[in-house]
Structure 1
């Protein structure tokens, strides 16, 4: 706790039935005096947030007029950073969906949510408004995690996923850190480049090339503060340090040093070793 600011971040061990679909689930309870405003970089996970506290205001970095307040919401894939803001505190369960998981669990193609923030009631899961009240009435994180995971598993039973080759292609991009040659992947599908690009973008929300760019940025961002910039650029496949800095500005809206110094409860910290795990 610093200056009255407290963050309690609790990680949940996800059911094996959700492997590859849900990267992680965390409970977040945060208290702060006044307004807290953060810049959130682009990333490859889709936050599905079930709130039982104050609303969160979300908007583009450069356009305060485009901001809107949300309680429970889904943030689709985006290649641009965004801002978040809340006052006094926030309480929520955050589900980090993979692009394949979002398609399977929510039943909507990624293109319908890409670059957008949507209220849960507009995209699913179909909770009929009861989940928020039950989360608010629960007294432990274990109870809240059980409620949310039950909804996810019920959704999984009724929805249909993307074509198998889309999932394979996404996994190849992710496993390579965004460095795999897209042309080689396209050739291995047996389909034309135009068809693959169109279907992949429809299902995932970004073209293969743009998705690979964000994957590479995420891996580089995780290295910031741990290695010199020139070494990170070489490790992650950038032409040079300037190329890395341009990508950080593009996807995070700030410099590498600013991003490295930031202390934010993002997917990187929420799913990492700093969070406490509840079995």
Structure 2
């Protein structure tokens, strides 16, 4: 009898631990947290779950704990719901942000209750208009409401044709701002150097009539398109209302990059002369 009672208690405990996760404590002394292992997730195979359905207490034991540092399911046409719990211990620190550093997701919606107990929806992702984002940044960023010290439950809905990964962090806005500015500066230096190399290659091609410079220029152009698309910069500055074109241009960038690298390698290294087998393989592709 005692053995059965212990097994029953353990079973209830496991069910409870599956349905309710650890709470993320927000404190001014801890301005940044990686929250991947605080996330719980559930699959929505037909994209027909509502926030009322997902947030119901009877639904909570369907969530699974994310055991990775980064929530990652790869390429999937299904929808995924994430759940996390936060609790503010410092009401003076209210500028909390939840963000993902991987911006190339179609639609990411965050649900959080307002002071009236109603669900509010914040939308982001490359298929949502950039101007309608709650915070105008290339990352997927949501401001968090921390009105009191009670535990709050937040839900995030993700749907994307691109690989689904969600490296998630919670940071204070003041803590996020400075590294973000420095990162943009580094991106500016990188793109500036790449642009100079690209223009130089085009100039040398026109002046010397040497196709190697043209192929190298194609290689640089493709690499720039790829990196700027994946980082979210092209969506931020060019495809602000047409995220679909941003997804298309990423593939175009990869194609130009590979083609330029192949042609440059083939002609500059003269593979047909020094590595005939490699030259034939490159000719096929």
TM-score range, shorter chain: under 0.3
Calculate the TM-score normalised by the size of structure 1: 0.27
TM-score (norm 2): 0.27
Higher relative contact order (CA 8 A, sep 6+): 1
Structure ID, larger Rg: 2
